Amino acid sequence: WRSGRIDEKLEALCTRYQMPLVARSEAELIGLIDRNQNQREMLARAVQGAISAAKVAGYDAGSFAEHVTRDAKDLSFRDKYFFDIVVPVFEEYELQLRSSGYIDYEDMINQACWLLRGRSAADLAAAGVPGYRMIFVDEFQDISKQRLDLVKLLASISPNTRVFCVGDDWQGIYGFAGASSKYLVDFGKHIGDDAATVLLRENFRNPQDVIDFGARIIGTCKERMIAKDLVAKHPGDGRSIHVTRLDAASESAFRAAQAEACHALLAGLVAGGVAPSDIMVLSRFNFGHAKVTERLVEEGKIPVALEKGGKMVKPGVRFHSIHKSKGLEAGHVVILNVYKGQYGFPSEFAAGINLQFINPDLPDQADEERRLFFVGLTRARQAVHVFTWRGNESEFLASVEAGLDPFEVKRNEGRVAARFVQETLKAVQLEFETRYHEKLLRWVPKSQIQSRYDPKAKGAQAFQIAAWFIEKLELDVARPGTGEIEASDRLKRGGYSFW
């Protein structure tokens, strides 16, 4: 596809498997896509976002078509095909607006900028547009080029106008609609060299390990981000992140297993005294939580929240896409489908769209996926529960685990908590629990166990294990500096607590 040899490859594959290669018209291909509701929703959102981003960047349907015709030659085959879809939809959308006598939100901002641009302060005052003493902009990380232009034009009416903006570039997630957190990162460049910046480092919502988890994800972004050392007002016990890895032979099998496992988790939380309304289930796409919602509704024991007209009419477990969860919070947050794939997280479909072709200031979409995951994580006041597909885990989990700082294990300090499972003549099988509450089995040679243990004990007990072998086991530090003796490996899976 990317090389432009898709026809050749398809023909070779069809010949190999003795299948006929049938040419389809564009209408037939769209009809095939239309059969899959998920694909249709993703494509529709992507096209809608591209049109919005183009209008925000100052294009109308005609000028954008010219841009694609003139400049798309250097795009990948995939991007070229995508923008060839966008152009006729953009043209039809503009035609429908004009014939109905409507304008959309992007038109409103563009027309406001057009009215302000090139007019004197006296003319504007006569037209009822006085200068402002203060302009306040919230969520500045989600500002677009046209909105930034509007702010600057309003500020230019009076030399005494002050601009006050609040934002977090780590939470910039609306690049698909034309927003860019680069305007916040380079605030002084766009607002004024004399602009002062105040960093707010204290976090009043999240436990420290959730903050650290998200910070490591942000640390893998390719684009420049504002460095922050965030500190939790309520740090918690360091055990707020729970990762559940599910075995599955296919994506559909994983979704089914996830629905059952998530239902069991929710039932356990509610049975433990957590109010259903204090639980939020999130997914990258709206359709990502459908099976879990259906499972709860089918059983009818755990209420599902219902909103009408923006008002809550029935409290219960809340289900949202992560974009919709912005600004919300819950004690327990569940993030579904954190695996590699088109419908996973990060979404390979969304991360592959080249928005810089529309506006060079727009974000790298892979970075946008990372920030979106950060937003999902930081909805949680107490705990985050992540579901992934074993063997197909998301890069988000891998990047966090690989990014932790190793903590050197000193010889003869390898006292570890574990549960005895079974033994052979030469080895003992132990069960370790990670910081993410994942239970892992490891075999340890008896020659490396330097303490007595009770094979009949039901719970965890202390095992003194040779330090070099602890490193071989690849055990991870829970959190250094707690006064406990702790150890780590090359940090592949999560944190084990050491005594």
Q: Tokens in use for 425?
A: 């003549």
Evaluate whether 111-198 and 203-403 have a shared fold.
yes
Q: List the chain domain ranges.
A: 6-102, 111-198, 203-403, 406-499
- Residue-wise pLDDT for 37-59, tens only, equals 667 777 888 888 889 889 988 89
* More confident: 486 or 166: 166
- Residue-wise pLDDT for 384-401, tens only, equals 999 999 888 898 886 445
The architecture in CATH of the region 203-403 reads 3-Layer(aba) Sandwich (3.40)
Res 208 pLDDT > 80: yes
Res 66 pLDDT > 70: yes
Q: Are 376 and 325 in contact (CB under 8 A)?
A: yes
Q: Are 478 and 496 in contact (CB under 8 A)?
A: yes
pLDDT reported for residue 93:
93
Q: What confidence tier does 402 reach under pLDDT thresholds 50, 70, 90?
A: very low
Q: Which residues contact 50 (CB under 8 A, 6 or more apart)?
A: 82, 83, 86, 176, 353, 355, 358
Question: Listing from the earlier edge strand, what are the strands of the sheet with 415-423?
Answer: 439-445, 427-433, 415-423, 460-464
pTM over 0.75? The answer is no
Does the domain formed by 111-198 have CATH 3.90.700.10? Answer: no
Beta strands 306-308 and 279-283 are unpaired
- Residue-wise pLDDT for 339-367, tens only, equals 998 888 988 876 567 888 888 888 888 89
pLDDT reported for residue 116:
87
Res 275 pLDDT > 90: yes
